[in-house]
Chains A and B, each alone.
Chain A
Amino acid sequence: MTLEAEELHKVAHLARLTLEPEAVKDYAQALSNILDLVDEMQAIDTDQVQPMAHPLDATQRLRIDEVTETVDPEYLQAGAPATEKGLYLVPRVVE
C-alpha cells in the first residue's frame, strides 16, 4: 500500500508535525513500508484470537480513593513560558 502525499499531510497535521517539502517523498516511502508490513500480517487468520489490549498478562490494580498528592503550583509552573494569576498562558485559542 502506498501512502499518497495528501494522506501524509493529513497525518502530519493531526500530529502537529511540520513536513519539509523535500522530506515528503522519504516519509511517504517509510510509512508505506510499515503499512505493507501490516498488510502482510492481515493475511494471518486471527478469528480464534482474542484482541490484545496489553502485552502484559496482568490486570489493572486499583487505587484507594484518597488525596495523596500535594501540589506546589509555583514549582510546577517554573518551566512554563508564561503564567498569570496562577494560570498557564498560551497563544489565544479562538473557538
Chain B
Amino acid sequence: MQWEAVIGLEVHVQLATESKIFSGASTRFGAEPNTQACVIDLGMPGVLPVLNEKAVEMAVQFGLAVNANIPQRSYFERKNYFYPDLPKGYQTSQMAEPIVGPGYLDIPLEEGSKRVRIHHAHLEEDAGKSLHEDFHGMTGVDLNRAGTPLLEIVSEPEMNSAKEAVAYLKGIHSIVTYLGISDGNMAEGSLRCDANVSVRPKGQKELGTRCEIKNVNSFRFVEKAINHEIERQIELIEDGGRVVQETRLYDPDLDETRSMRTKEEANDYRYFPCPDLLPVELDTAYIQHLKEGLPELPDQKRQRFTEQLGLSDYDAGVLSASRALADYFDRVTEICGDAKLAANWVTGELSAQLNRDSLDLQQAPVAPEQLAGLLKRLLDDTINGKAAKQVFAALWAGEGHTADDIIEAKGLKQVTDTGAIEAIIDDVLAQNQAQVDQYKAAEADKRGKMIGFFVGQVMKASKGTANPQTVNQLLKDKLG
C-alpha cells in the first residue's frame, strides 16, 4: 500500500527581549540557577503580571511577516497543569483569541514552492528547567527560564514529508532571524520544535491518529525523527497494529522515538481567561507602523533575486535563507555588477570554504568587497576562471589584501594575446601529431569531446594563464 505522511509543526520561538514577558527579571541565557527568577516568575502570592510591550511588538512583526491577520483584540488564558518547573500551577498562554491569526509561509522545495498555512501564533511564558541527574534521587529545578517570552507558531497539518517539515522550519527560522526577534539558536533552545506526525493510505481524506514528537532541537534531528516516526507508524499498521495518540521523545543517540506519556485530553488543561491580565488591544495605526518598519523578508528577497537579478529559484532560495548571506551577496553584486557570477561564487566557492573550515559567514576571512574585487578581474578578462580560484584561495589564506595584489604577485594575468597563444598551440600540435591525425579522421560529432584534450595541453603549457575561449577558438581554426 502507498502511504502518505501528514505533519504539523508547533514551533516555540524564544523572543529576544531583555526582560521576561510579565516581569522585569532578566532573560539572559546561562546565568547561575534561580538568579533570574523574581517573585512574579515564582508566582508568589500578591504579585501581578504586566505585559512586556516588546514581546507584543515582536509577535505582531512575525504575524505581519507571514501575511497573517492581526486581530485588534487578544487575551491571555491560564493553561492549568502541575509540574515542578511551573511554579504557579498554570502557564499563562493564549488559546481562544491569540495575538496572531491565520497566515501562511511559502516554502521552497526542489520541485517548486509550496504554501503551508499557519493556523495561528500565540504569546506565552516559558517554564523552568528540571534537572534529573545527581541530586540523591531528587529532581533539581532552575526557574531562570520561567517567564521568558515565547511565540508558539502552529502550522496546519499540511506537510507530507520530513523534507517539507525541515523546509518549513528553516523558513520560520529565517523569518525570525531576519526580523531580529529571536537569535534562533536551536542548541540553546531559542527555537524548539514539536512535530505532530500521522500516516494514512494515499488518497484517503481522513487523518490518521497522530503522535507528537518532542525534544527535536536541530534541523537534522527534525528530519531524522520524523522519518523514523513515519516508518514506525507504517510498520505498526502493516503488522496489524494501531497507532495510539501519545507524546514520544526523540533519542538522537539511538535514532528512535520512545513513548513519553499518553497525551492528556486538550480540555484537561482547563483553560480560562486570566483574571490578572486585561485584554490586549492593538490599534490599526500601531499595526500599520510596524508593517512599514519590516525589513525586506526572505520571500521578498527571493523574488527580487529571481525576477530582478535573473537568478535560478534554487540559488535565490539558498541566498535568501539567511539575512547575513543575502546581505553578503547583495554587497558583492552591488560592487561587481554581475549577480549571476556573484551568486555562483557565494553559493559555490565561498560556501564550500566556510564548510571546509567550519566557519560562520561572520567569520569569513574574505570580505564581500574583496570577493567583488576578484570578480571584477574575472569579468574584465584580466584572469580566467582557474586563476580566479587560486586568487580566492590566496585571499582566504590572507596572502594579500586585494585580488589585484595577488594577481600581480603570482603572475596570474591572463594571456589574451592571440600571437602568444598561437605559438603555444603550434608547439602542442607538433608534439601530439597522433592525436591531431585522430581528430581529423573523426566524425564531426565526436570532435567536440576530442578537442578538450588539446585545450587541456595548451592550458597546461601556459601555466593556466591562457584565455580558454581564445584557445578553443584558435584550436578549432587550426585543426580545421
Contact = CB atoms under 8 A, between A and B. Distances in A.
A92 B137 CA distance: 6
B75 interface: yes
A87 B34 contact: yes
Interface residues of B, number: 54
A10 to B, nearest CB: 9
B138 A71 contact: no
B139 A59 contact: no
B53 A69 contact: no
Most A CB atoms within 10 A — which of B36, B37, B139, B143? B139
B279 interface: yes
B268 interface: yes
Nearest to B87: A88
A21 interface: no
A86 B142 CA distance: 8
A87 B141 contact: yes
B148 to A, nearest CB: 13
A56 B34 contact: no
Given A58-B278, A65-B17, A85 B40 contact: no
A38 to B, nearest CB: 13
Interface of B is mostly: loop
Interface in A12-46: 14, 16
Contact of A88 (B97, B137, B141): B141
Nearest to A11: B270
Given A14-B268, A60-B279, A87-B141, A66 B34 contact: no
Interface size classification for chain A? 20 to 34
B25 interface: yes
A95 B55 CA distance: 31
Interface string A59-73: 111111111110101
Given A14-B268, A63-B50, A92 B138 contact: yes
A89 interface: yes
B70 to A, nearest CB: 15
A56 B51 contact: no
B281 interface: yes
Interface string B11-33: 00000011100011110000011
A62 B53 contact: yes
Contacts of B140: 84-85, 87-89
A54 B140 CA distance: 37
User: Which secondary structure characterizes the binding site on chain A?
Assistant: loop
A2 interface: no
Contacts of A69: 19, 23-26, 38-40
A53 B53 contact: no
A88 B139 CA distance: 8
Interface centre among A56, A58, A87, A90 (most CB of B within 10 A): A87
B37 A85 contact: no
A88 B34 contact: yes
A5 to B, nearest CB: 18
A76 B138 contact: no
A76 B260 contact: no
13 contacts: A54-B278, A61-B278, A62-B50, A63-B19, A63-B50, A65-B18, A65-B53, A67-B26, A71-B34, A88-B34, A89-B135, A90-B138, A95-B261
| The 7 A-B residue pairs with the shortest CB-CB distance in the complex, in nearest-first order | A68-B24, A87-B140, A65-B54, A62-B53, A86-B33, A69-B38, A60-B278
Interface of A: 14, 16, 51, 53-54, 56, 58-69, 71, 73, 76-77, 82, 84-93, 95
Given A65-B19, A69-B19, 16 more contacts: A14-B268, A16-B82, A53-B75, A53-B97, A54-B273, A59-B279, A60-B281, A62-B50, A65-B53, A67-B19, A69-B24, A71-B36, A71-B38, A87-B131, A88-B141, A90-B84
Interface of B: 17-19, 23-26, 32-40, 42, 50-56, 75, 80, 82-84, 96-97, 130-132, 135, 137-143, 249, 260-261, 268, 270, 273, 275, 277-281
